[in-house]
Structure 1
Amino acid sequence: MNRDWNVETKILEVLRDALKSLMLTQETIDPVRERMIHVSREISVMIRNGFKMIYKGEYNKLDSQIKIINSKIVDVMATLREDEYDILSRILYDPLKEYVELILLYSIVSRDSSLLSYIGEIDPRIVLDGYVDLMGELLRLAQKAISDSNCVEALKIIQLCEEIYMEFYISQIGNYLYRDHKRKSDRMRSILERVKSDYIYGCVGR
């Protein structure tokens, strides 16, 4: 083995090279990142307004709103190079999850499936998280149907909740690919059990 008395210097050189590489990447990515943050905030506001439209029954307005959101998402994602995607796409993770949830909920309450195709372009893991959050909204819809004595509609919602949960439960997706799969399945089961309990109390028990 040859001894290198300059090994400390070379170790620092490797460190400097790694830091320099990351700083150069940062200089390239920062303008794109700032734009994505701006678009993310903009989309989040539009999505919150979209949920308000659902509860007001303004489905025609929401149809147009979702199309605008989709256009913004497609536009900003198209600006990402392949090497930037893994670094920056996480900025849009939460807005995209809420976007999936919004489309699903809109499709249910409006009985219009035409916008579901927009979901096909989104990371499947984000789509699954959108379904997890959808269960909470379905609980609210079921509770409203029960309070309005619309037990037929409440039962339809319960059946959909059961089918969504079972699809999650029987799937064999590794935690390395979809994090906290079991925990999320358990959360969905908990919501399903609460919906069923409310239904029994509000409809069957009358």
Structure 2
Amino acid sequence: MSICVGKDDLLKHMEAVLKRIQTQFNELDEIRERCFEMSRKLIRQSSIAIKHIHRTELDKAKAMLNDAMKIAKELSEIISKHSDVASWGFVQDAQRELSEAAILFSIVSGEKLPDPCELNVCGVAYVHGLAEAMGEVRRLILDGLNRGAKEDVKTLLRIMEETYYLLLAFDHPDTITLGLRRKVDQLRSLLERTHSDVTIALQCAAVISSLQKHSENLKGAQ
């Protein structure tokens, strides 16, 4: 076998190719640093928004969400130029957290449910955020039981149930949904526990109410 390409020509070409790749990697590393910091801010803003929602400080929650959505838009613009960014775990985590906060805000405030395009998040992050938002809905249900807000509890439980059944329809491979099936299984377990908690609490409330009425009737008869 004879080697036709000269050693020097081959190495020069190799060096030029690798320099171009290294330049690309350096640029991507700078982008990664920017996106990592933006993702951290996005997660922080979304988490704070969720805290405000549970405290019924909806104006503060809305302000945090607006700030978070600006960051998400910046991230989306970077993704449009560098598609690799979309697959980075911390970017997906940030988009999921924003989706969760925005969906929870919609449930509590009664505002229109935002779609992924409005939030500048991908569909996978959105459905994961929707599933995780149901954990926060459970917290709202338990709080409603403590306050005796029976109608709110029933409404939230129905939202939780319907969301589970809607997500159950996503039977696509994990390579597409990135583990959504496991999250839906966890939601089913959470829903069962919530059903049990609500049933027990309402039964206890009914017994207490019946005893109070009985006590009042006895006092009235004396």
Work out the CA distance in 2 between the residues paired with 1:162 and 1:18.
Answer: 56
Aligned to 1:95: 94
Alignment match, 1:9:
none
Q: Distance in 2 between matches of 1:76 and 1:175?
A: 24
Q: 1:118 to 1:64 in 2, by over 3 A?
A: farther
| Conserved 8 A contact 1:70-1:118 | no
Q: Deviations over 1:12-65 (max 9, x none)?
A: 999978865542321121222221122122222222221221122221222222
What is the DSSP-based 3-state SS (H/G/I as helix, E as strand, rest coil) of the residue aligned with 1:96?
A: helix
The answer on 1:192 being equivalent to 2:191 is yes
Distance 1:15 1:199 in 2: 68
Q: 1:14 to 1:190 in 2, by over 3 A?
A: farther
Question: Alpha carbons of 1:81 and 1:169: their partners in 2 closer, same or farther (altered >3 Å)?
Answer: closer
Deviation at 1:186, TM superposition (A): 0.8
Find the counterpart in structure 2 of residue 163 from structure 1: 162
Unaligned runs of 5+ in 1: 7-11
Q: For the structure 1 residues 31 and 196, does the alpha-carbon distance in structure 2 shift closer, same or farther, using more than 3 Å as the test?
A: same
SS at match of 1:79: helix
What's 2:176 paired with?
177
After superposition, residues 20-169 of structure 1 pair within 5 angstroms as 22-82=21-81, 84-87=82-85, 90=88, 91-113=90-112, 116-117=114-115, 120=118, 121-169=120-168
In the superposition, relative to structure 1, how do residues 39 and 170 fare at CA in structure 2: closer, same or farther (>3 Å)?
Answer: closer
| Partner amino acid, structure 1, of 2:106 | S
Greater displacement, 19-28 / 188-197: 19-28
Separation (CA, whole Å) in 1 of partners of 2:153 and 2:14: 61
Q: Check conservation: 2:72, 2:121, Cα contact below 8 A.
A: no
| Structure 1 CA distance for aligned equivalents of residues 174 and 87 of structure 2 | 20
- Letter aligned with residue 116 of structure 1: P
TM-score, normalization by structure 2: 0.77
Q: Percent identity?
A: 22
What is the alpha-carbon distance in structure 2 between the residues aligned to residue 55 and residue 32 of structure 1? 35
Indicate the SS of the match to 2:174.
coil
Which AA in structure 1 matches 2:47? Answer: R
Instruction: Note the C-alpha offset of 1:181.
Output: 3.2
Please report how far the alpha carbon of residue 187 of structure 1 lies from its aligned counterpart in structure 2 after TM superposition.
Answer: 0.5
Does the 8 Å CA contact 2:76/2:121 hold for their aligned counterparts? Answer: no
Q: Distance in 1 between matches of 2:142 and 2:20?
A: 55
Q: Distance in 2 between matches of 1:76 and 1:170?
A: 29
Larger radius of gyration: 2
Q: Deviations over 1:184-205 (max 9, x none)?
A: 2211100100110000110134
Aligned length, in residue pairs: 202
The two structures have a TM-score, normalised by structure 1, of: 0.83
